[in-house]
A and B are shown apart, each in its own frame.
Chain A
Amino acid sequence: MRSKLARRLSRLFPAGWPWKTTVEVTLCALLVACCSTVLLFLIHFEQAKIPLYASLADRILEQGTHIVPFVHIFGRGLLGFWIVALCVVLLPLFHYLWHWQGSKSIYLMRRLPRRSELWRRCLAGPAVLLAITVAAAALIVLLCMLLYQTLTPAGHLPEDPWAGIGGILCWF
């Protein structure tokens, strides 16, 4: 079962390409991106909650105050994911050049009966990794939104907490 999956995965990359390392490195990078995003979000969130309190030491909330909208706290939280995505997007170029490394396996790839095989092997792996990156980023955003909504003291959410949510996609 496991070897079948490994075989299927290996077919998403050029023949002989160290796909296991590629997948492992990408997943590690995504894990780092996820952890750092959540951690930074929690730090910024705690800072954003300070103005809500009349007395921080006694944890007494000041009536009529509102926390800033989500997008201000989340900020550039997706930067890590953007970096991973950029690396993944560049992978097909390296995959294509792989066919000139140490031999001209490009000759074999270009004379296969299934003409699309060369491009499939160059693009499929990065496409899957990119999809995983997008999914991971979406999940982390959802998790942070959930934390924002549940951890903000009742009645202190702004009128439109999700105002300008599209701004989180901005990476610079």
Chain B
Amino acid sequence: MLVLSDVKKTYRQGTQALAGVSLSLGPGEIVGLFGENGAGKTTLMKCILGLLRYEGEITLDGQPITPKNIARLSFATCEHSYFPALTAAGHRDFFREHFPTFRDKRFTALMDFFQLPLNKTIRSFSTGQKNQFEVILALSQGADYILMDEPFAGNDIFNREDFYKVLLGILEPNETILLSTHLLEEVQHFIGRAVLLHQGTVAGDMTTSQLEDEGRSLIDYVKETYHYQSDRVSRTLDQLTDQKE
């Protein structure tokens, strides 16, 4: 169980990115992390991974996250964390060396599925291929908790849909996914729980089965939580039209 208790993060310039986030992720959950730009999604993931200093407490099965258990977490980011000048095979060797639970079979299967070349440097890949490779590494690391921050930015719709299907097919019952994305419609049938961040706090947290029971879609839930004003476009257009007249 990954537990975050009152996690706060303030950047040097005084911006409060996280204002006391409490959250727990259990084994086998597929959680969507949503929020407007600047809501704190990326910061939250970086805090979990220890890439940023924070206040509060983050534990993994009751233990603080240290080099001893950090291999249980993996990370796929739209900023990319691979080595551009290294080949895919080189990455496989690097991960084998550093992550004892590296899933060789999964790596090979995913590389084949996406038809990615093994002996070319990653910098020679297309943007979509780079994203795919980033996710392949995160999924093959052998981690129990896989954090993904906008991993499909730049991928076409067919690629993304394929990926969701493959992901659902390969995940083992104990593997947990925390997926940050803006692609609500696409992931609504793939995730089991939605966590909504707003201005550094958890604004909503619901399972998709709860939403189904209430007869609400994920989009509706998100719009309600963020008090989305559906008429704001027409109001603005009206205003502009009036000004013209």
- Given the known interface contacts A103-B79, A113-B98, the answer about A16 and B73 at a Cβ–Cβ threshold of 8 Å is no
Contacting pair B83 A16 (CB below 8 A): yes
Residue pair B90, A15 in contact (C-beta under 8 Å): yes
A104 close to chain B: CB less than 8 A: yes
A:9-48 near B, CB below 8 Å: 14-18
User: Is B70 a contact partner of A103 (Cβ separation < 8 A)?
Assistant: no
Q: Return the contact of A101 from the options B77, B79, B84, B121 (Cβ within 8 A).
A: B84
Would you call A113 and B94 a contact (CB within 8 A)?
A: no
Instruction: Contact check, B98 vs A103: say whether CB atoms are below 8 A apart.
Output: no
Complex contacts, A103 vs chain B, CB 8 Å: 79-84, 122
| A16-B121, A104-B77 known; A111-B70 Cβ under 8 A | yes
How far is B94's CA from A108's CA once the two chains are assembled, in angstroms? 11
Q: Are B75 and A107 in contact (CB under 8 A)?
A: yes
How far, in Å, is A116 (CB) from chain B's closest CB?
A: 9
- Chain A residue at minimum C-beta to C-beta distance from B85: A16
Question: Per-residue 0/1 for B55-87: is the Cβ within 8 Å of any A Cβ (1 yes, 0 no)?
Answer: 000000000000110110101010111111110
Digit string of B143-183 for contact with A (CB within 8 Å is 1, else 0)? 00000000000000000000000000000000000000000
| Cβ contacts A86-125/B at 8 Å (1 or 0 each) | 0000000000000001111111101111110100000000
* B176-212 vs A, Cβ < 8 Å mask (1 yes, 0 no): 0000000000000000000000000000000000000
Interface residue range, chain B: 20 to 34
The reply on B49 being an interface residue by CB < 8 A is yes
A104 touches which of B70, B79, B85, B98 (Cβ 8 Å): B79
Q: Which residues of A contact B86 (CB under 8 A)?
A: 15-16
Q: How far is the CA of A118 from the CA of B79 in the complex (A)?
A: 19
Q: A103-B83, A104-B79, A107-B81 are in contact. Are A16 and B90 (CB under 8 A)?
A: yes
Q: Judge if B235 is at the interface, Cβ distance under 8 Å.
A: no
Asked whether, in the complex, the Cβ of B85 is within 8 Å of the Cβ of A115, the reply is no
Of the listed residues A14, A16, A104, A110, the one surrounded by the most CB atoms of chain B closer than 10 A to its CB is A16
Judge whether A111 and B49 touch: CB under 8 Å.
Answer: yes
